[in-house]
């Protein structure tokens, strides 16, 4: 299941990240994930994004705008339009 | 545990560290690692394929509760890339031991020493236990040791080259002066190369291509396990000196007809 997340709407009045008043028109978000632009219908948290993508949160690490997001914060950390996200995991290597 | 290999505060029986790259599939990777007897296993950090993110994962085959997972920073060309990679790797929850590789040249894959030192400084300050991939340069090894690296990992020869230890004299000098474990990493080709490293007195040897690239990787994994064990025992047994001339092995007296 990609793209259309059924996520709880951020309550009108406060976007937790920048304090601005957010209305319905601002709810969609475009983020770059692993170099590809993706659109989501709602502002998502990192946890919700991983769930939407089907990525197993137990086996990945996530960076937003070149800063690691600790896994304990996946549920609280909200993404914003324009964010650059990297989702990585371990692969074979020497 | 007899003659343990102590690294970053933990004791290991095996002095063979193996990589997980270049295998035919995850099953072969798991089998080779198991046969090798290695307890520390390197992995790389790469982007998830977001069009197929739930595909099988290496850690489904290499159990992180059974092995010490050693993430590397392979592919990084700058200190910043290597630092980012280590921070991500640590958040994946396999510990804070990292193999620091900052590549300076794409044909030789030799490390960029200044960038390696710069990255090591930041990583050590952030609490990582750093194992730096380095050239067989005794000065570079000493600097990295003094900064607080948990070991030094001088290359035998370029990654994947199979040439074995190119400069045993440098390795011997590094061994004489190092107060942290010396792990020969990169360039091992076959069993005798691994044994040679341990015979010199190295604490361990790290290899990937030598096993994964062999015609029969599982058989080579076994060969390497035996070679590392043999090399270590030969080292501890105290070899005979090298001499220019012969010294007879059989008695000189009691010969028939003399």
Angle between helix B217-237 and B191-200 (nearest 10) = 20
Q: Which residues of A touch B159 (CB under 8 A)?
A: 94
The CA-to-CA distance between both ends of chain B, in Å, stands at: 54
pLDDT above 90 (res B2)? yes
Q: Among B101, B94, B88, which Cα is nearest to B67's? A: B94
State the Rg of chain B over Cα.
20
Nearest to A56 by CA among B81, B31, B181, B93: B93
Cα(B104)–Cα(B110) distance, integer angstroms: 6
Q: Which of B77, B117, B138, B92 is nearest to A58 (CA)?
A: B92
| pLDDT value at B50 more than 90 | no
Catalytic (active site) residue B99? yes
- ipTM, 2 dp: 0.92
Q: Which two tokens stand for residue B222?
A: 């076994």
Give the pLDDT band of residue A20 (cuts 50, 70, 90). Answer: very low
Report CB contact under 8 Å: A63, B159: no
Give me the pLDDT at residue B56, please.
Answer: 87
pLDDT of the residue at B13: 98
**What's the confidence (pLDDT) of residue A56?**
84
When scoring B16, B21, B47, B186 by the number of chain A Cβ atoms within 10 A, the one with the most, hence best to mutate, is B47
| A36–B50 C-beta distance less than 8 A | yes
- B94: distance to nearest CA of chain A, Å? 10
Which residue from A35, A59, A93 is facing B44, i.e. has the nearest CB?
A: A93
Measured in angstroms, the CA of A19 and the nearest CA of chain B are apart by: 28
In whole angstroms, give the CA distance from residue A63 to residue A71. 10
Indicate if the pLDDT at residue A25 is higher than 60. Answer: no
- pLDDT value of residue B52: 85
Residue B194 CB burial class (10 angstroms; 0-12, 13-18, ≥19): buried
Q: Which two tokens stand for residue B159?
A: 């990654």
Q: Look at residue A13 and tell me whether its pLDDT is greater than 50.
A: no
Report the run of H or E that residue B17 belongs to, with start and end: strand B16-19
CB contact under 8 A, A86 and B209: no
Q: Is A56 on the interface with B (CB under 8 A)?
A: yes
Terminal-residue alpha carbon distance, chain A = 34
Task: Output the CA angle A17-A19-A23, nearest 5 degrees.
Answer: 95
Output the furthest CA–CA distance in chain A (Å, rounded).
50
pLDDT of residue B79: 98
Q: Number of Cβ pairs closer than 8 Å across A and B?
A: 110
How many Å apart are CA B71 and CA B41, to the nearest integer? Answer: 8
Question: What are the residues whose beta carbons fall under 8 Å from the beta carbon of B257, sequence distance 6 or more?
Answer: none
| Least confident piece of the model among A42-56, B120-134, B149-163, B186-200 | A42-56
pTM, rounded to two decimals:
0.90
Per the prediction, chain A carries an average pLDDT of: 80
* Helix ranges (DSSP H) in chain B: 26-36, 79-91, 113-125, 138-147, 168-177, 191-200, 209-212, 217-237
Tokens of A41: 């219908």
More confident site: A55 or B17:
B17
pLDDT in the model for residue A21: 47
């Amino acid at each position: 299941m990609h793209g259309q997340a059924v996520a709880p709407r951020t309550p009108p009045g406060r976007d937790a990240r920048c304090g601005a008043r957010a209305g319905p028109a601002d709810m969609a978000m475009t983020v770059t994930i692993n170099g590809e632009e993706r659109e989501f219908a709602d502002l998502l948290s990192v946890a919700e994004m991983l769930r939407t993508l089907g990525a197993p949160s137990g086996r990945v690490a996530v960076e937003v705008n070149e800063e690691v997001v600790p896994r304990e914060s996946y549920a609280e950390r909200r993404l914003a339009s324009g964010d650059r996200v990297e989702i990585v995991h371990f692969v074979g290597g020497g | 545990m007899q003659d343990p290999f102590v690294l970053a505060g933990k004791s290991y029986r095996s002095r063979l560290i193996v990589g997980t790259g270049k295998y035919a599939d995850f099953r072969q990777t798991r089998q080779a690692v198991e046969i090798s007897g290695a307890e520390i296993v390197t992995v790389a950090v790469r982007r998830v394929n977001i069009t197929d993110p739930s595909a099988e994962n290496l850690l489904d085959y290499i159990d992180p509760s059974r092995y010490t997972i050693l993430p590397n920073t392979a592919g990084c060309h700058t200190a910043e890339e290597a630092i980012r990679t280590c921070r991500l790797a640590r958040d994946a929850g396999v510990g804070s031991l990292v193999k620091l590789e900052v590549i300076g040249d794409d044909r030789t894959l030799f490390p960029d020493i200044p960038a390696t030192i710069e990255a090591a400084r930041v990583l050590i300050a952030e609490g990582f236990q750093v194992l730096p991939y380095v050239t067989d340069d005794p000065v570079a090894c000493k600097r990295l040791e003094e900064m607080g690296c948990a070991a030094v990992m001088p290359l035998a020869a370029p990654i994947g080259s199979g040439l074995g230890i190119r400069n045993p004299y440098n390795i011997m000098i590094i061994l004489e002066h190092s107060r942290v474990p010396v792990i020969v990493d990169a360039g091992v080709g076959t069993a005798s190369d691994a044994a040679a490293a341990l015979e010199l007195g190295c604490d361990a040897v790290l290899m990937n291509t030598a096993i994964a690239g062999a015609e029969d990787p599982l058989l080579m994994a076994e060969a390497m396990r035996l070679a590392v064990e043999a090399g270590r025992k030969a080292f501890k047994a105290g070899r005979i000196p090298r001499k220019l001339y012969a010294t007879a092995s059989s008695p000189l007296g009691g010969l028939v007809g003399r």
